[in-house]
Amino acid sequence: MSRSAGDGAPRGPRFVVTPGGSLRGRVRVPGDKSVSHRAIMLAAIADGETEITGFLEGADSLATLAAFRAMGVTVEGPHGGRVLVKGVGLHGLRAPAEPLDLGNSGTSMRLLSGLLAGQRFETTLIGDASLSSRPMRRVTEPLARMGARIATTEAGTAPLRIGPAETLRGIDYAMPVASAQVKSSLLLAGLYAEGRTCVSEPAPTRDHTERMLGAFGWPVTRDPVDRHGARVCIEGGGQLTAAPIAVPADISSAAFFLVGASIAPGSDLTLEDVGINPTRTGVINILRAMGASLEVLRERDLGGEPVADIRVRGAALRGIEIPADQVPLAIDEFPALFIAAACAEGATLLTGAEELRVKESDRIAVMAAGLQTLGVEADVRADGILIRGRADAEARPGAAAGAGALLGGGRVDSHGDHRIAMAFAMAALRAGAPIEIDDCANVATSFPGFAALAAGAGLGIAEHSA
């Protein structure tokens, strides 16, 4: 967590959002962060020049880009989402002159741990206070089994000091908890390993790494283990060949607008070119189960990833018990989905989501605190949360004031977590008083221009300095 609860003055800019309104029109949210990270990484160690379009020019993706520039890779851009990467080949990276600062980006740190484990030089990975508190042993321990030399703090956190390994060996690893970052880190290390590297997942996780490896010409095999998960394998000793990469709009960023338009009567919003990779569509499946009005239109392929336009209109939502098989498919979208649950009729129960406690913040505890500020009953569980929706709030004592209002207003603390800040901004669509959100600087890590785009769609949001 970027800071502990109640530790004083807000940091960075804050959002002030006026209550009510609806979302209308057509918008395109920024490029997919997960795809942008992987495009830079694989392009850098490919042979030839790779043109990336739709690249997310957010702080997290730019941290990955800067890391490869520091290791001798020539990168032109980004200019309007276009990046040209002149790959140096699998063994062409050079030792950086100083530690690689990855800011707030857990994806950068975990995936780079695997990629750098196979290099012939030493590297140190550092990050901000939030990233330096996140657990890294879930990645470093299986990498060590491959022969990687990675040192962490005693708590298993960054800085990560990665030394050249004598030999990396492929392993067959069964992940105890589904994690695309762990899977991807091991597959990237497997590029440099002798033999076959296989990762079995207990539940489906996003497969952008596997898809992009294939786009760069590296064979990947994927075998179903059972109806829940799969086993993904690669052989070491291959070659990556440059290929054009088109980055779709990020469904994790679209999720805030999907929820906002769903909870606000009169909304009619179309989100363009959204990535609908089946390992990422949990937010669509969950909202539909809650009664949301979602239409998936113009399905097509963009650079190896399925995309579509999504039309969403205001609807009466109902609380549900979130299916276990949807949890890993929506893990980054739960802050937004918690707002949908708060505006639904009846209770919504989430379990099996321990990973939310070790994101940019403890997203279960921080979201619960903010929801309680807005008058929502939210009971924290060890692995999830129970949210009692306020769709019948006007019949309850102490209901929020104002026509159509389900939530109260107030001041909430995002704890520097970009997804929590954006989720509570959308909550104002059903609030009876303004919502102020502190510590919003990190919104730029995944969604530069969020406030302006949301305002253009009808949200009454303004950004203020702290």
Contacts of 35 (CB under 8 A, 6+ apart): 208, 212, 245, 247, 248, 275, 305
Cis omega (within 30 of 0) for bond into 10: no
Is residue 186 within 8 A of residue 165, CB to CB? The reply is no
288-296: long-range contacts at Cβ-Cβ below 8 A with a sequence spacing of 24 or more? 289/320, 289/323, 290/262, 290/317, 290/318, 290/319, 290/320, 290/340, 290/341, 290/344, 290/348, 291/315, 291/316, 291/317, 291/318, 291/344, 292/258, 292/262, 292/317, 292/340, 293/262, 294/258, 294/262
Catalytic residue selected from 332, 413, 417, 439: 332
Q: Does residue 332 carry a catalytic annotation?
A: yes
User: Residues near 209 by Cβ (< 8 Å), separated by ≥ 6?
Assistant: 38, 111, 180, 183, 184, 187, 188
Note whether 321 and 352 are within 8 A (CB). no
In terms of Cα–Cα distance, which of 263, 255, 294 is closest to 23?
263
Half-sphere exposure in the Cβ direction for 168 (13 Å, CA): 30
**Cα 285 to Cα 323: distance, rounded to the nearest angstrom:** 10
The catalytic site residues sit at 332
